[in-house]
Amino acid sequence: MKVTDTKWMQNMTDLVKPDTANKPSQDFAAILNKAMESKDDKRLYQACQDMESVLMSKVLQAMRQTIPKSGWLGDSFAMDTFESMLFDEYAKLISQSNTLGLAEIMYRQLKQNIANISPVQTDPEK
């Protein structure tokens, strides 16, 4: 196997990518807890927008994977990182524009039941 083999390089870049799969949900849980404790509507709405942003980021990444890469701009770890960051920013802009309405729906449901909801457990051992 040559070091310049693209499959080998892809496997190596997959190993060094940070594992952020659980980070957005932990951040959402922490923000949601703070909003519920302080009964802060603005913070609660921000947490709902962040959750919508995470969902949209996953949707955009899944859509991108369905498009074959042409190689016109090159295929590298840097380009993959740039595209990932770009799609995260697109997702934030989409959630802030209120075009989907998912954040608004979550906000209304959580606000309606905020007195009945116990804080979300962020530590699974508790």
pLDDT tens digits, 8-54: 445 444 433 444 444 555 666 777 777 667 777 888 888 899 999 99
Residue 71 has pLDDT above 60, yes or no: yes
Q: How far apart are CA 25 and CA 20, in angstroms?
A: 10
Alpha-carbon dihedral 35, 40, 42, 47, rounded to 10 degrees: 10
Query: 60 or 112: whose pLDDT is higher?
Result: 60
Model pLDDT, residue 79: 87
- What integer pLDDT is reported at residue 41 of this predicted model? 81
- What mean pLDDT do residues 65-74 have? 82
Spatial distance between the Cα atoms of 10 and 4, rounded to a whole number of angstroms: 10
Cα(70)–Cα(15) distance, integer angstroms? 24
Predicted structure pTM score? 0.60
Stretch 56-80: mean pLDDT = 87
pLDDT digits (tens, 9 = 90+) for 83-119: 899 999 999 999 999 888 999 998 888 888 775 655 5
Residues 6 or more apart whose CB falls under 8 angstroms from that of 87 comprise 57, 60, 61, 64
| Per-residue confidence (pLDDT) for residue 17, from 0 to 100 | 45
- pLDDT above 90: percentage of residues in the chain: 26
